[in-house]
Structure 1
């Protein structure tokens, strides 16, 4: 699987940026997994005449009862007809920060440099769960890997996974390299399945550049995480149910049962939703992000990751305009120095980094799981 044209690679990277931001915006109004179940999301879509879902979420119905559809406070900036550039969100902040990290330190960056970049560029109150714990631990003088393990009950949640995209975009066609880079970032705040989630997502995105569709990308991503871990087992189960002809809804119902008891921000159930969205979306951008967000749980994070993969698969030119035009080529960000940046400029900068990578340059620490604990 060889990349033939740099211009095609640049278009796919641009597609990844646009897809990540659009998918994040789609899922943001309904990001509260304990409340916005699959059933409630579809009830909302039926009430607003938005099934099948082919655009951003519609505004809430005027006759909704109190507490019936409790959208996030940011919803007026994220629903169709009201999107004028992207909302600020941590799912995008970390992508921007990852690009800045690579520009500042190159692909030989250390985990300590990731932490230093957070302290210099990311406001504390814009961090959450494992990232906020790691940030606090950094301020208190701890160093990796203790920043991830000290008083951190969120070590296996989805935070490291949402930071992984830039490592996939800058490793086109090289999932092993992408996974190794993502691991070096992830161990600042996560261990075990939390680290594996970042490696899996980065590998999935890198594989999408050369894969013949989402199924091949999913298969390639599994080669970069421990095969007997809970994450790999869950992704394989999703793929097996898809192959067996189960419906998207039945697949998610089965996977919900198998991951019962895990928090709605845990890596494993969210990876199941992302995998199902990708497989049943069959490479179509709109179907992929719509199914992924309708799958519930951490909807904005999942929509962002699935949108990134789908955007790479189809390229920027292949994303329907109803998703990209409202973004106005602008991104809001809490990362100091990046608020209001042009999405196209961020994509160009990412493509320039990707073009500097020699073939076969996988970092030596590209190992399965390593010292991060069992999954």
Structure 2
């Protein structure tokens, strides 16, 4: 039995192809409707699975090609994140056999395929036990790493990408002096399509590591959103997935995690660090002119269009780049629009990890670095157009 799967996002096609092959089906994939039409003639499939939301030419054109142009009666399944009733009705009127709404599990997809065309040949390999979820969006996550050999929770990262097909993790080795790079390459083995290791030979600080990682991931055409997360998982991956769900169902350009203590959440900080954080947050709010509760949480996700605005230029400081991102948003969009585009979302869990690279002494330095940011990011208005006055020499 042959299955042709058409979707523009590789992170959707890869797990689908692997699972169907494990079940004994012969599989061909295509990244566009044009490729799908060419493969249809060459491959002679018994089933076509097609996404609707494909750039340039919509997936419904593939359905029309099969049903109206070549007048084939082979089963057609739609696998799409589009839930518009009008489109769904149109698909059924054209003669599709099933409409599957993302997100959904590979187990469910497998069961529907079997119902339509029967089982594949006896599996040559053991079927994956992980019930992977096919997401309706694809997300890149940048994880800066500096001397994380002993703290990197590799299994938590690999288990997550095994269960969530729509994620691509980019670990940035920021000139580590221990065996972090070796640990990252080991973590990547067997998951090369879902895990990237970006190596910086010299330590440039967290800000530069995140910046380079974000710019690198912006080159991946199939990603809808890109974010960053701390390597120690003080914010865990399930909370990050909640940030993703918020941005994909809203008009926000950035969704930022917030470590606000509240009932039902596990938020822990050292008492001294908490006092300093409150002081720093007060200063940040004054500088930004925005009522942020927590700019410095290391978990943020953003629309790809924000990447050039926020990351094209180097940051002034090694740690306070979050503040600079929001300053750049304010300067680009104006204060009112920027505040409407940025959402703070309380986390369910945030645990201060032992071995944090930011010392109490560094926390004191932050106050002076904030003054530097406030001085260099001065907004002047000329015909109501915000202009950024930034120092030529970056520290």
Q: Which has the higher contact order (CA 8 A, sep 6+)?
A: 1
Q: Larger helix proportion, structure 1 or 2? A: 1
Q: Larger Rg: 1 or 2? A: 2
Q: Larger strand proportion, structure 1 or 2? A: 2
Determine if the TM-score, normalized by the shorter chain, exceeds 0.5: no
TM-score if structure 2 supplies the norm length? 0.26
TM-score if structure 1 supplies the norm length? 0.27
